[in-house]
Structure 1
Amino acid sequence: MNQTPAGSQSKERLALLLSLTRIDSDEIQMALTDHLVRGASEIDAAEMNGVSRSNLTRALNKVRKVAATVHAIEDLDWARFKESVK
Structure 2
Amino acid sequence: MKYLLPGFEAKKRLELLLSLTRIRSKDVIAALMDHYTTSLPAEQAAAEHNIALSNLVRNQKRLEAVAATVESIKVIDWAKLQLHKRAK
Describe the superposition over 1:7-58 as per-residue Cα deviations: whole angstroms up to 9, x where unpaired: 1210000000000000000000000000011111110110111111000000
RMSD between superposed Cα atoms in Å: 0.6
Partner of 2:85: 85
Q: Which has the higher helix share?
A: 2
Larger gyration radius, structure 1 or structure 2: 2
TM-score scaled by length of structure 2: 0.95
TM-score scaled by length of structure 1: 0.97
C-alpha distance in 1 between matches for 2:79 and 2:49 = 41
Partner of 1:40: 40
AA partner of residue 18 (structure 1): L
Q: How many percent identity over aligned positions?
A: 38
How many corresponding residue pairs?
Answer: 86
Any gaps of 5 or more consecutive residues in structure 2? none
Partner of 2:69: 69
C-alpha distance in 2 between matches for 1:44 and 1:62 = 20
Any gaps of 5 or more consecutive residues in structure 1? none
AA partner of residue 43 (structure 1): E
